[in-house]
Amino acid sequence: MAVEHPLPAPAGDQTRIHDIGYRGYDGPRLGRAYARRSLFAQSLRGSYGLGRSVKSKVLPMVLFAVMCVPAAIMVAVTVFTKAHELPVTYTRYAIIMQAVISLYVAAQAPQSVSRDLRFKTVPLYFSRPIETADYVRAKFASLASAIFILTATPLLVMYVGALLAKLGFAHQTKEFAEGLVSVALLSLLFAGIGLVIAAVTPRRGFGIAAVIAVMIISYGAVSTLQAIANVQNHSSAIPWIGLFSPVTLIDGVQSAFLGATARNPGAINPSAGQGVVYVLVVLGLIAGSYGLLMRRYKKVGL
Amino acid sequence: MARVTTVVCVTVIATESLSKRFPRVTALDRLSVDIGPGVTGLVGANGAGKSTLIKILLGLSPATEGRAEVLGLDVAAPSSGRAIRERVGYMPEHDCLPPDVSATEFVVHMARMSGLPPAAARERTADTLRHVGLYEERYRPIGGYSTGMKQRVKLAQALVHDPELVFLDEPTNGLDPVGRDDMLGLIRRIHTDFGISVLVTSHLLGELERTCDHVVVIDGGKLLRSSSTTDFTRTTTTLAIEVTDSETHPDGTRAVREALHARGLDTRNEGAGLPGAGHILLLTAEGEETYDLVRDVVADLGLGLVRMEQRRHHISEVFTDDGHSSDEQRKEAVGHGG
């Protein structure tokens, strides 16, 4: 029989530092899907500067505030003037704020992918149990979610405000849902375009400039052409011209199918046939940008 | 240390006529090696195929032909690449650290990318960073680190998930002599203390001699040699001989050289510039009979044998085909390595 020693545990003993040497890890290894989720979470937080320096929080937070403040003001106006309708429809809000959204994509798409290329962190990811597709999906989903948070939050503010102002519940809910579908499509489209452009260059500055060029300049050019077409009485061409910029694409889809009014000069809604073309182009662009990203990262590899 | 005994497979890495051809170059040419547990050095000049081999072993680049196994898993089999990468760590040669996050945040993220749950990832990160020698500075952004500290972070991210095997690609690159020694000591400890097998590449042969149990030398994608470091320095012994001069043989060294040459034994001079150079003959001892032969030759000539000693081989002699071997040349060979 071993003699039982009472364990003396003086308080001082607990503060001693022991060199316990190397300890192995026998716990669970959660594998590929968990790694992909971790990358998604890290990238999504990074899109708002969380877990990064104060400097990198400034721009996304400012843009987020810029997106939400007008919605809050509109709600306040609606409540105080006892209006029967919100001054701006849910579907129209993102189109009005398109410059802010484009700026956000221009800033955060390169942040998401160019950094990994520039600092050559990509090989570290691919030396872990994920595949090219996991990296691309995590990055795509995280940026799309970040844009969705940016665009859907003001809609939520408006919806809550509309309910507080006792506007018609069924009507508001339907329009809010249509708005959400629209910004979800917009988020996927913008994320795809932004990431494809940003993934080409390890230089963040080039990425930002290129995304701005594609998003904002194409919108300006398309709007100008539409205005000219309107003045010259070629209004039937207006919906077709709208196919050539991301913002007008979303505008076309929602004015064809989501009860919105087109924001183009002349307010010409696309026909049902044109609407189908719009939807196909949007889905094609989303799928195409996913395909291009996959091709790009197959090459980057290690 | 318990894990050392639990390693079942004797071979950690095995390749069989593994080839990798690119449109213009052949990176690996029918390479067959077996690598056991322990610290293995992979030596070759830049472009010898070291990084290509690591890529194939990580399951990231398909081989053109041949097969390779890592930890008993065939790299070409579907989904075994992921299984391999879960149990293997990789430290790349180039910079791979974002400057605007701290070492702790970065290594935690990499631990989670290897599949460790959040709490375990944080705990392992703290442990690993301590083991590689990063303390208070681990909370500061990596951008402000010295090269030596960055190399430690790179090593930590390769070890954080407690792999069974790590690939270290040129871990001593860019380090000063002290940093180099620290890193080599750390690599040794990865095996002796942590029980993790190591494949370390380098073009510097001298450092692998001290660190590795086994060295694989490749050049132009071909295997030059694969053996343990003790084999390298033992199987063929270099014998250094110094003799006296006599009246019949005013140049004793030359007389011995000619006499040995007549008996079919090649000799070479110790490199010039050293004290006693020109008086010391080096020859390769192939066995006991070589010693007898030297004794007889010297005795027949009536000369005095001042010295007959074994010289320890250096790995770099693998590369000196013409048989010259001196400390100076070793340093040169170390520099070019292939």
Q: Which domain CATH number covers B264?
A: 3.30.70.260
Q: Is residue B324 part of a domain?
A: no
Output the pLDDT for position B159. Answer: 96
Is the same domain home to B242 and B225? no
Residue A121 neighbours by CB distance under 10 Å: 19
**Whole-number Å distance between alpha carbons of B147 and B129:** 16
CB contact under 8 A, A35 and B97: no
Is the same domain home to B283 and B203? no
CB contact under 8 A, B95 and A24: no
Check: CB of residue A121 under 8 Å from CB of residue A115. yes
Which residues of chain B neighbour A124 with C-beta distances below 8 Å? 90, 92, 96, 110, 113, 157
pTM of the model: 0.80
CB contact under 8 A, A23 and B127: yes
Is the same domain home to B171 and B243? no
Q: Is residue B179 part of a domain?
A: yes
**Whole-number Å distance between alpha carbons of B41 and B230:** 13
Is the same domain home to B170 and B76? yes
How many structural domains are present in chain B?
2
- What is each CA distance from A145 to A46, A113, A141, A271, in whole angstroms? 12, 15, 6, 30
Is the same domain home to B206 and B246? no
Tokens of B227: 């053996």
CB contact under 8 A, A121 and B157: no
pLDDT tens for residues B105-116?
A: 999 999 999 999
**Whole-number Å distance between alpha carbons of B214 and B38:** 8
Q: Chain B residues within 8 A (CB-CB) of chain A?
A: 2-3, 55, 58, 60-61, 82-83, 85-86, 88-90, 92, 94-101, 105, 109-110, 112-117, 120, 124, 127, 131, 141, 157, 161-162, 193-195
pLDDT tens for residues A112-128?
A: 999 899 999 999 999 99
Check: CB of residue A217 under 8 Å from CB of residue A239. no
CA A37 to chain CA centroid, Å, is: 17
Is the same domain home to B165 and B91? yes
Output the pLDDT for position B323. Answer: 38
Is the same domain home to B206 and B287? no
User: Which site among B52, B80, B96 would you substitute to test the A interface, given the most A Cβ atoms closer than 10 Å to its Cβ?
Assistant: B96
Is the same domain home to B145 and B23? yes
Is the same domain home to B288 and B146? no
Residue A34 neighbours by CB distance under 10 Å: 19
Is the same domain home to B41 and B157? yes
pLDDT at residue B187 is higher than 90: yes
Domain stops at, among B232, B267, B284: B232
Q: Is residue B327 part of a domain?
A: no
ipTM over 0.95: no
Query: Mind telling me how many Å the CA of A38 is from chain B's nearest CA?
Result: 7
DSSP A254-291: HHHHSSPPP-STT--PPPHHHHHHHHHHHHHHHHHHHH
Is the same domain home to B90 and B128? yes
Parent domain of B109:
2-232
Is the same domain home to B257 and B213? no
CATH code assigned at B33:
3.40.50.300
CB contact under 8 A, A127 and B60: yes
Mean pLDDT of chain B: 83
Which residues of chain A are modeled with pLDDT < 70?
A: 1-20, 300-302
Check: CB of residue B298 under 8 Å from CB of residue B243. yes
Output the pLDDT for position B328. Answer: 39
* Closest chain A residue by Cα to residue B81: A129
CB contact under 8 A, A38 and B92: no
Q: Is residue B35 part of a domain?
A: yes
Task: Tell me which residue of B139, B112, B62, B144 sits closest to A128, measured CA to CA.
Answer: B112
Sketch the domain layout of chain A as residue ranges. Answer: 32-300
**Whole-number Å distance between alpha carbons of B324 and A240:** 79
Check: CB of residue A40 under 8 Å from CB of residue A141. yes
